[in-house]
């Protein structure tokens, strides 16, 4: 009887030991995964690179650029565009370009709380606009954080002496945010900026892009149009930038990739009074 009892206990003991081994193995696997995750998170903090599959990685893919149209204020003769770009994970670059009547002096510029035409207090100071352009990098800020602080507006003043007189102003709006990009199998990316062409003209009238990026012109005038570089009618400033010379002639949409750095003025060849500017940077 004693022998039979021992034989009955042995299988039970074996099962318990097996469960302990499996349980311990499961714990070891979980611990290994947790350690790997902690290591990845530590590397993310040290290098500033997002961990794939984390909220940081998802946030980085949301918004990369904001475009703000700056409208003329107080008959200044100045209008243009501001482009806000995410730089890394902790700063925002703001590029302002104005066209029209030059002020002759450096013009203070800021991101204000509120909306045009009468924004409130200054939220973020920008570099003065000099000869129609300025560039600022705001540290410790992301575009996601900026959008969370709306309403905001970018305002350019007439001069330091006449800071109460606004020359150009534009609201920062959620709809101006874009992370649109197209890619090929090699993983290269090409951003696109859209310009709408209506009976009132091109909007935005001035856009700033990087070399290798594209602008898509959308004709919404209800009439035929042909976009081309200045001067009219030769189009010699940027000969390739001429819709009629492409397979897109006669179409309501014209996409052109700019591979030359510079300030390229353009017009509608069929209505040369309608003009705009594409600024291409490195």
Q: How confident is the model at residue 10 (pLDDT cuts 50, 70, 90)?
A: low
Beta-carbon neighbour count of residue 126 at 10 Å? Answer: 21
pLDDT reading at 62 higher than 60: no
pLDDT reading at 1 higher than 50: no
Contacts of 28 (CB under 8 A, 6+ apart): none
Give percent of the chain with pLDDT exceeding 70. 72
pTM of the model: 0.47
Give the integer Cα–Cα distance in Å for 185 and 220: 33
Give the integer Cα–Cα distance in Å for 264 and 241: 9
Higher-confidence residue of 264 and 56: namely 264
For the segment 189-219, what is each residue's pLDDT rounded down to a tens digit? 457 898 999 998 998 888 889 999 999 999 9
């Amino acid at each position: 009887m004693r022998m039979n009892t021992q034989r009955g206990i042995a299988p039970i003991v074996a099962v318990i030991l097996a469960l302990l081994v499996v349980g311990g193995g499961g714990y070891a696997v979980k611990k290994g995964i947790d350690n790997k995750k902690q290591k990845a998170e530590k590397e993310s903090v040290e290098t500033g690179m997002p961990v794939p599959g984390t909220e940081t990685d998802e946030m980085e893919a949301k918004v990369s650029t904001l475009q703000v149209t700056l409208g003329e204020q107080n008959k200044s003769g100045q209008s243009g565009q501001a482009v806000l770009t995410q730089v890394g994970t902790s700063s925002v670059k703001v590029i302002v370009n104005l066209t029209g009547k030059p002020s002759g002096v450096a013009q203070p510029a800021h991101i204000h709380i509120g909306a045009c035409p009468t924004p409130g207090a200054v939220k973020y100071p920008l570099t003065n606009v000099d000869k129609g352009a300025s560039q600022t990098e705001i540290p410790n800020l992301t575009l996601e954080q900026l959008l969370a602080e709306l309403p905001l507006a970018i305002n350019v003043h007439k001069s330091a002496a006449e800071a109460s007189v606004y020359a150009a102003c534009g609201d920062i709006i959620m709809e101006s945010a874009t992370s649109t990009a197209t890619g090929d199998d090699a993983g290269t990316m090409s951003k696109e900026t859209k310009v709408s062409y209506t009976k009132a003209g091109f909007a935005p009238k001035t856009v700033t892009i990087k070399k290798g990026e594209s602008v898509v012109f959308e004709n919404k005038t209800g009439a035929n149009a042909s976009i081309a570089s200045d001067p009219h009618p030769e189009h010699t400033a940027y000969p390739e930038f001429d819709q009629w010379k492409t397979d897109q002639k006669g179409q309501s949409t014209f996409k052109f990739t700019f591979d030359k750095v510079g300030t390229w003025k353009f017009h509608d060849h069929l209505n040369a009074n309608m003009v705009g500017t594409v600024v291409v940077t490195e």
